[in-house]
Amino acid sequence: MKKLFIILLAVTAFSCQEKGTESANEANTESTREIKDYLSQYKPYPMDFDATSYNETDRTILKKLVEASEYLDTIYWLQTSKYGLHLRDSLAAIKDKNQSTKDLLTLVNRNGGPFELLNGYKTFIGNQTYYPGDELYPMA
Amino acid sequence: MTAQQFDDYVKTLPEEEQVEFMYPYTVIREDGNGGYEAIRYHVEYEKYITPIVKLLNEVADLTDNESFAKFLRLKAEALTTDNYYDADVAWIDMKDNKFDMVFGPFETYSDGIKGVKAKYEAYVEIIDQKASEDLKKYTSYLSKMEEHLPIPQEYKSDASGLTATFVVVNDIIRKGEGTVGYQAVATNLPNDPEVHATKGTKKTFWKNMLKARFNGIIIPVSNRLIEESQLKYLSDEGFFQFVLMHEICHAIGPRVVKVGPNKGMAANASIGPNYNALEECKADVTGLYQLAYLMDEGVVDKSRREEFYVSFLGSLFRSIRFGLDEAHGKAAAISLSYMLANGGILYDEATNKWSIDFDNFEEGVKNLDGELLILEGNGDNVKVQEFFDQWTKETPALASAMKATEDLPIDVLPVRSIKWE
Ligand SMILES: [Zn+2]
C-alpha cells in the first residue's frame, strides 16, 4: 500500500518534476501487479449512445439530465470518500498519463474511492484503510 | 463512530430527533459540544443540489409529456426537502414518455454503521417501448401462470390482484452509486414502505447492461464450460427474455405458508435466512417453466427454445462464481446439481463440458420447480436445509466449473460515449 502512495505522489508531481516517474516505476513493480489483478476482474465494454436521431428539444433534455447527474455524482463522492475524490481529481489532472496512472484512475472511478469493493474493501491506493459509514458519520 | 456509539447517543434523544438520526437522508456530524447532530442531505449538499434543481425544472419546462414534467418538478422539490413520497408516486405514474430516470438517494446497503443512510445514484434512460409492451403482455398472464404452477391446488395463491409496473430501458449514463460495485441489470424502487403500501413499486430493467453482462461475462465463461455444439444457441436476447421471466416469477408462487403449523405466516419469516437462495432459485426455475408455458400458448416465439435454455445454462456459470455461500451462487448450484442428477442437464467429466438435454430439460424444470414451490409453501426450514445440504454441495463437477473460469473477468467496466451531433 505504501508503495502505491509513493507512486501517486510521484505522478502527481510529474508535471513539475520530470524524474519523479522513474523512481516511482522502479519502486512499484509489485503493487502494479496488484493493480493489474484488480483491473483484470473488470471487462471493458463499450456502451455508446447516439443522440443524433433525436430532435433538438430531446437532445437538450438529455444533455441537461446528464449535467444534473454530474452534480449528483459529486454528492456521491462527498458521501463516500472525500479522500478518494481528492485522489481522483489529482490523477485526472495529470497531463500525459502513463499506463499506471490511467489504471489507477480507472480503479478509483470504478470503486468510488481507494478501496476495492469486489475484494473486501482492500486499499489499493493511498494510506487510508476502509472505515464503515464512509462520510455519512463522524470518522472518529 | 461505531453503531454502539450511535445507539448510545440516540437513546438519550427525544423521539423526533431519534427519527432524524435514523432518517435515510441525513448525515451525522459532531455538534461542537461533545454531541452529534443529524443534518438533512439538502442542507449538507446544498451547493450541488441547487444546480440540479434548476436543471430538472428546466427539463420540466422543455418536455411536452405532462407526467414526466410533473415527476421532474416533484423530484426537484423533494431534493430540497428530502421528502420523496410525492416524487416517487409521480415516478411510478409516469406514462408514455421516451425517457425515464432513476435519480436521487436510494440504496442503503453501503452504510456500514446502521444500514439506513441512502447514497445518491443517477441513471438517465431511454425507454425501450417494444420490450416494455412485450413485458406487459407477459404480466397479463400472471394469474394464468399462477394457476399453471406444477403444485397441488392448496399451494396456489390468488394472483388476480397482482399489479406490477415494469419498464425496460437502456441507460445512456450512470453516475454516483450506479457506477461502482457490480453493475446492476434490474432494480425495484423506491424503497419507501409507505410508497409500497399505496402504489407498489416500479421494476426497471437495464437492457443494455444486461447485454453487456451477457456478452462481456457470460459468453467467455460459457465458451469454457458449455459443449461446443450448443454454443451457437447463446444469445443476449435469449438471456434477456429469461431474466424478464425470472423477475416476473418473483411475483407468483407461495408468498405465505400454505400448509402445516406455520400456515398464514410470511414464507420468508417462516424459513429465515435460507429463504433468499430458495427464492432466487424458484424465480429462475419458475421463469423457465413459465417461459415454456408462454411458448406453448404462442405468446413467445417457440423457435427460440434452445436459445433460452442454453443462455440460462451459461448464466449459471457466472452465478456460481460468487460462491456456494451466496444466495445466487447457491441457487445456481441447485439448478445444476439437481438437473444433472434428475435429468435436464448433462455433464461430461472427460471434457469438463456441460450441455442442455433438450429432450428432458422441461420435465427436469417442472420437477425441480414443484419441489422448490412446495418448500416455500410448507415454510419449514428443516426441510429447506435438507434440500440445500443435498444440492448445494461443492461437487467435483461444480468445483471444476469454478476452477476453469477463475481467471475470467467477473463484471463489466462500461466505457461510455455519447454522440450529440
Ligand atoms: Zn431474483
Q: What is the DSSP string of A80-118?
A: H-HHHHHHHHHHHH-SS--HHHHHHHHHHHHHTSSEEGG
pLDDT higher than threshold 80 for residue B268? yes
User: CB neighbours (10 Å) of residue B396?
Assistant: 9
**Mean pLDDT throughout B131-155?**
92
The confidence score (pLDDT) of residue B158 equals 83
The confidence score (pLDDT) of residue B163 equals 66
pTM comes to 0.90
Q: Is residue A131 part of a domain?
A: no
Q: Is residue A135 part of a domain?
A: no
Q: Is residue A6 part of a domain?
A: no
Among B59, B53, B23, B60, residue whose Cα is nearest residue B38: B23
Among B293, B339, B284, residue whose Cα is nearest residue B312: B284
Lowest mean pLDDT among A71-85, B25-39, B191-205, B283-297: B191-205
Lowest mean pLDDT among A42-56, B148-162, B338-352: B148-162
For A73, which residue in chain B has the nearest alpha carbon?
B176
Which amino acid does the sequence have at B17? Answer: E
What is the rounded distance in angstroms from the CA atom of residue A102 to the CA atom of residue A120? Answer: 23
Nearest CA distance, A19 vs chain B (angstrom): 32
The confidence score (pLDDT) of residue B162 equals 64
* Nearest Cβ partner for A52 among B176, B220, B419: B419
Neighboring chain A residues of B122 at a CB cutoff of 8 Å: 68-69, 72-73
Name the A residues in 61-100 with CB < 8 Å from any B CB: 61-76, 78-80
pLDDT higher than threshold 70 for residue B227? yes
pLDDT higher than threshold 90 for residue A13? no
Residue of higher predicted confidence among B179 and A9: B179
What is the rounded distance in angstroms from the CA atom of residue A105 to the CA atom of residue A82? Answer: 15
Distances (CA, A) of A133 to A116, B22, B29, B317: 16, 13, 12, 33
Name the B residues in 182-241 with CB < 8 Å from any A CB: 182, 208-209, 212, 215-217, 220
For A140, which residue in chain B has the nearest alpha carbon?
B1
Domains: count for chain A: 1
Helix/strand/coil for B120: strand
What is the rounded distance in angstroms from the CA atom of residue A113 to the CA atom of residue B176? Answer: 11
Question: What stretches of B236-357 show up as alpha helix (H) in DSSP?
Answer: 236-249, 267-271, 275-296, 305-319, 327-342
Contacts of B252 by beta carbon, 8 Å cutoff, 6+ apart: B142, B145, B146, B149, B157, B159, B162, B286, B290
pLDDT higher than threshold 70 for residue A14? no
Among B1, B257, B273, residue whose Cα is nearest residue B112: B1
What is the rounded distance in angstroms from the CA atom of residue B401 to the CA atom of residue B408? Answer: 12
In the predicted model, what is the mean pLDDT of chain B?
95
The confidence score (pLDDT) of residue A1 equals 42
Q: Is residue A108 part of a domain?
A: yes
pLDDT higher than threshold 70 for residue B172? yes
Neighboring chain B residues of A120 at a CB cutoff of 8 Å: none
CB B314 within 8 A of CB B354: no
pLDDT higher than threshold 50 for residue A39? yes
pLDDT higher than threshold 80 for residue B382? yes
Q: Is residue A29 part of a domain?
A: no
Domain that holds residue A63: 41-123
Helices B275-296 & B236-249, crossing angle to 10 degrees?
120
B90 Cα: distance to centroid of ligand 1 (angstroms): 26
Residue B150 binned pLDDT confidence (cut-offs 50, 70, 90): very high
Q: Which three cell numbers stand for residue B411?
A: 463484471
Q: Is residue A67 part of a domain?
A: yes
* Nearest Cβ partner for A72 among B59, B120, B415: B120
Contacts of B88 by beta carbon, 8 Å cutoff, 6+ apart: B189, B190, B192, B195, B199
Rg of chain A over CA atoms, in angstroms?
18
As a whole-number percent, the residues of chain B with pLDDT over 70 amount to 99
pLDDT higher than threshold 60 for residue A21? no
**Mean pLDDT throughout B288-316?**
97
Q: What is the ipTM of this complex?
A: 0.90
The confidence score (pLDDT) of residue A136 equals 97
Q: To which residue does cell 491506493 refer?
A: A125
Distances (CA, A) of B319 to A42, A80, B316, B325, B334: 16, 28, 5, 11, 11
Q: Tens digit of pLDDT for each residue in B73-115?
A: 999 999 999 999 999 999 999 999 999 999 999 999 899 999 9
What is the rounded distance in angstroms from the CA atom of residue B238 to the CA atom of residue B246? Answer: 12
Q: Is residue A72 part of a domain?
A: yes
Backbone φ and ψ of B102, nearest 5° = -105, 120
The confidence score (pLDDT) of residue B139 equals 85
The confidence score (pLDDT) of residue A15 equals 35
pLDDT higher than threshold 80 for residue A101? yes
The residue of A79, A102, A129 whose CB has the most chain B CBs within 10 angstroms, and thus the best one to mutate to test that interface, is A79
Nearest CA distance, B409 vs chain A (angstrom): 4
Neighboring chain B residues of A79 at a CB cutoff of 8 Å: 27, 117, 119-120
**Exposed (0-12), middle (13-18) or buried (19+): which is B137, by Cβ within 10 Å?**
exposed
Which amino acid does the sequence have at B307? Answer: E
For B119, which residue in chain A has the nearest alpha carbon?
A76
